Amino acid sequence: MQPGRDPLVWLAVASSTVIVAFILVPLVEMMTQPTMASLKETLMDRDVIRSIRLSMVTSGAAALIALVFGTPLAYLLARHRFPGKKILESIIDLPIMIPHPVVGIALLSIAGRNHPLGRLMQALGLEIMGTVTGLIAVLTFVGLPFYINTAKAGFEEIPPRLEHVSRSLGASAGGTFFRVTLPLAWRHMVVGGIMCMARAVSEFGAVIIVAYHPMVAPVMIYERFTAYGLKYSQPVAVWLILVCLVLFLLMRMISLDRKATA
Amino acid sequence: MIHLHRLSVRLPGFSLKSVDLSIEQGEFFCLLGPTGAGKTLILESVAGIVSIVDGRIIVSGRDVTGLPPEWRGVGIVYQDCALFPHLNVEKNIHYGLRYHNGSNREGRTRCRDLIDRLGLASLLNRSVMTLSGGEKQRVALARALATAPTVLLLDEPLASLDPCFREDIRDLFRSLHRETGLTVLMVTHDFTDAHSLAQRVAILNDGHIEQTGTVDEVFRRPSTAFVADFVGMKNVLPVRVKNGTLSIGALVLAMPGENGTHRFAAIRPEHIYLHHAPSGVVSGDGFAGRITAISNQGLLAELAVEASGVTFKTVMLASSLMEMGLRQGAAVDLHIDPADVHLI
């Protein structure tokens, strides 16, 4: 049967159209509603700029922490079988599943004076409640699974035999990682970083528990909406979306496999 | 040389069971066995890639049991070549040099010689993704030999090649082995590889070695029913041997001098001879049989012949089958020369 006459193809096209419209229509509506004047005015607002910058910096820091600490764990999960591996994988996925205000409450509960970790953090001068440190902690918490799972998929795509051959040729485990594994997996790691950062930028529920102030962009949008209404929150949202779009497009382009797209 | 002493490896659902194996210095040794027998596992144990639970591994007189792969001096070439896709041909070949005083003149000269010897000079700047199967194998071989290993491990290196490349690479292995005098352990399930390359072979089955010996010994005088079947003796039949006679079911064959504890008779299919006997009358030393199945395999036809409740497998030229007018159900006179019967 020709594809054009296959009812399944038409069903797929119809459902795809509904899905794409469901995602795009509200976003396009929101993006097109603010006037140029209100967008310009919002761009001049120092509080808005500060909150978007803070969102980017804290989310970037969360992605960086995920990269440094998550890479060894992703590699371990991709390459080794060990008792309790499934449990560990489920633990890593927990931040995706649990309600995000709960994440904030959980983090605060270990940061207080009643908890040994809280006392240690205080001794080290680390404050969680209402600080940038708290923001980064909470964003790392929610973003980690996205980085680890993507990096792990990247490592799994590399045949272990490449690493075995590298070792047999004289490279140590570390040398093999940096000369074989990393050059083949870095695109997945960058994509994982982007996903982690994207997740962190959009976080709201956990952030308002741990650090309403200093105000990140989602909190500012919420505050403007509750205090002044839709009209005043939309321009901030538009700028946040635009900044994220440009940033993520850039990172995607850097990580794009030229050979694969050729 | 390679010595494996009571080597045991345990994986989920499979284990190598106390494998003993000795490969002499400069020997070309083939490890044969069906898929899943543990051939590659032995190879990777020698290379230090899998952890062993018991036993010792000696490579060139050095106990390497606890050493990481990079300290073993062992080169490995896999069936899929495992070339580094992000490096070009030259960088693949030079990969290991930095770990083996590669910057010195000796290492560079060795690499250059290998590149010339293996005809890779024109490919050096090519991406390994664009190479043919034969070219990939030559690059993988050059990369493994560039570090001057004391032992070379080959994991079914010819299995994925086109037949035309296979013979070339086989010739290459043969001449390189002759020139370098390297100890080579090759895993294969292809008898042609073993016949044309190996001085000795070992047959592996379900994690243990069934038989070790020269190619001729193993192929002509298999020591177990499994090896007999594996090397193509398609008739492995339970027997009783007593006072110079061999009983295969109800069939009795005179075998003067034989009187032992043999349990199986192994007969190659080409050593079972058939004559058309439409009347059912057979010659004095023959058995009356009937063809129960014929499967045509191009030039050859494989036949199943039933005689007194025993089924024999035999082969003959398809043209002979036509000339003799043999069809399924035809009565035949079946002959076996006692000299062709190998008792196990």
pLDDT value of position A4: 63
Taking the CA of residue B7 and the nearest CA in chain A, the distance in Å comes to: 20
Contact A169 B95 (CB under 8 A): yes
What the block records as the tokens of B185 is 């352990």
The average confidence (pLDDT) of chain A is: 91
The average confidence (pLDDT) of chain B is: 90
With cut-offs at 50, 70 and 90, classify the pLDDT of residue A111.
confident
Across A66-78, average pLDDT: 97
Q: Is the dihedral of CA A218, A223, A229, A235 positive or negative?
A: negative
Q: Give yes or no for residue B335 having a pLDDT over 80.
A: yes
Length of chain A: 262
Cα separation, B129 vs B124, in Å, equals 13
Looking at this predicted complex, what is its ipTM? Answer: 0.84
pLDDT value of position B125: 95
Contact A81 B12 (CB under 8 A): yes
Cα separation, B333 vs B335, in Å, equals 7
Across B109-123, average pLDDT: 91
pLDDT tens readout for residues B177-216: 998 899 999 999 888 889 999 999 999 999 999 999 999 9
| Annotated domain spans of chain A | 36-256
pLDDT value of position B252: 84
Instruction: Kindly give, in sequence order, each residue whose CB lies less than 8 Å from that of residue A56, ignoring residues fewer than 6 positions away.
Output: A201, A243, A247
Contact B84 A162 (CB under 8 A): yes
What the block records as the tokens of A100 is 């995000």
Q: Give yes or no for residue A193 having a pLDDT over 90.
A: yes
With cut-offs at 50, 70 and 90, classify the pLDDT of residue A262.
very low
Cα separation, B186 vs B30, in Å, equals 5
Across B120-144, average pLDDT: 93
Chain A residues with CB-CB distance to B96 below 8 A: 169-171
pLDDT value of position A1: 55
Q: What are the percentages of helix, strand and coil residues in chain B, rounded to 5?
A: 30, 35, 35
- Tell me which residue in A162, A175, A183 faces B82 most closely, judged by beta carbons: A162
pLDDT value of position A227: 93
Taking CA–CA distances from B146, the nearest residue in chain A reads: A169
The neighbouring-strand residues paired with B3 are: B22, B58
What topology is assigned to B244-343 in CATH? OB fold (Dihydrolipoamide Acetyltransferase, E2P) (2.40.50)
Could you tell me if B205 and B226 are in contact, meaning their C-beta atoms sit under 8 angstroms apart? yes
Q: Which residues of B159-190 are buried (b: 16+ CB within 10 A; e: fewer)?
A: eebeeebbeebbebbeebbeeeebbbbbbbbe
Across B57-65, average pLDDT: 94
Chain B residues with CB-CB distance to A171 below 8 A: 70, 95-96, 99
- Per cent of chain B over pLDDT 70 is 98
Local structure of residue A177 (DSSP, 8 states)? I
What topology is assigned to A36-256 in CATH? MetI-like fold (1.10.3720)
Contact B49 A168 (CB under 8 A): yes
Range in A45-54, B102-111, B269-278 with the lowest mean pLDDT: B102-111
Q: Give yes or no for residue B283 having a pLDDT over 90.
A: no
pLDDT value of position B65: 95
pLDDT value of position B103: 60
Q: Give yes or no for residue A219 having a pLDDT over 60.
A: yes
Contact B82 A172 (CB under 8 A): no
- Tell me which residue in B76, B86, B100 faces A165 most closely, judged by beta carbons: B76
Contact B48 A161 (CB under 8 A): no
Q: Give yes or no for residue A257 having a pLDDT over 80.
A: no
Range in A111-125, A237-251, B271-285 with the lowest mean pLDDT: B271-285
| Annotated domain spans of chain B | 2-229, 244-343
Contact A167/B at CB under 8 A? yes
The CA-atom distances, in angstroms, between A213 and each of A32, A48, A108, A197, B302 are: 29, 13, 15, 20, 85
With cut-offs at 50, 70 and 90, classify the pLDDT of residue A260.
very low
What topology is assigned to B2-229 in CATH? Rossmann fold (3.40.50)
The neighbouring-strand residues paired with B209 are: B204
Q: Is the dihedral of CA B89, B93, B99, B101 positive or negative?
A: negative
Cα B131 to chain centroid distance, Å, stands at 27
Taking CA–CA distances from B46, the nearest residue in chain A reads: A168
Task: Give burial (CB, 10 Å; 0-12/13-18/19+) of B278.
Answer: exposed
pLDDT value of position B224: 92
- Among all chains, which residue has been given the structure tokens 């993006």? A31
How is the beta sheet containing B74-77 ordered, strand by strand?
Answer: B74-77, B151-155, B183-188, B28-32, B200-205, B208-214
Across B100-111, average pLDDT: 78
Across A77-90, average pLDDT: 95
- Per cent of chain A over pLDDT 70 is 96
pLDDT tens readout for residues B150-186: 999 999 988 878 887 788 888 888 998 998 899 999 9
With cut-offs at 50, 70 and 90, classify the pLDDT of residue B248.
confident
With cut-offs at 50, 70 and 90, classify the pLDDT of residue A261.
very low
User: H-helix or E-strand containing B194?
Assistant: helix B191-197
Contact B13/A at CB under 8 A? no
